[in-house]
Amino acid sequence: QDNHSLSVEPGVIRGLHFQTHPSPQSKLVRCTRGRILDVAVDVRRGSPSFGQHVCAELSAENGHQLYIPVGFAHGLCTLEPNCEVQYKVTGYYDPAADKGVLWSDPDIGIKWPLEGREPILSEKDRAQPILADLPDYFPFER
């Protein structure tokens, strides 16, 4: 499935989202207009990197992409007006499997580049649980 989103304002935060079994998704994300900070968070309980995150700036200019594997939550912050993000996912959207973790969880510690602005968030993203309260959706196996 291909997904396409438009965020008009800078400071829009989307995430942190993932899908659980039976419909987990990997994502390949790129920004085709504007600039975003793209984030992946390991939510595989028992993983040596559980709760850690990586960030990458994606833009139309740099052409970079970020791969988000199953077991990782995905989020982004728009850095410019009118950002278009396109991402390919390995499975279809499943509302029953759609889950998330709170974008501002201090245990994850993402430094969102808001430059003094208040984030623009959906109600869904404001209400996500913190990482410590997530069920064990993705048991880590060595």
Instruction: Tell me how far CA of residue 68 lies from CA of 27, 40, 75, 90, 114, in angstroms.
Output: 5, 6, 10, 11, 23
3 state SS of 19: strand
Please identify every stretch of the chain with a pLDDT value under 50, giving residue numbers as ranges: none
Q: What is the DSSP string of 78-138?
A: E-SSSEEEEEEESS---GGGEEE--TT-TTT------TTPPPB--HHHHTPPPGGG---SS
pLDDT at 142: 77
Which residues lie below 8 Å from residue 48, measured CB to CB, with a gap of 6+? Answer: none
Terminal-residue alpha carbon distance, the chain: 29
| In contact, 112 and 119? CB cutoff 8 Å | yes
**53 tagged catalytic:** no
pLDDT at 141: 82
Exactly one of 64, 87, 92, 137 is catalytic; name it: 87
Exactly one of 4, 17, 64, 93 is catalytic; name it: 17
pLDDT at 139: 87
**67 tagged catalytic:** no
| 15/108 Cα distance (integer angstroms) | 13
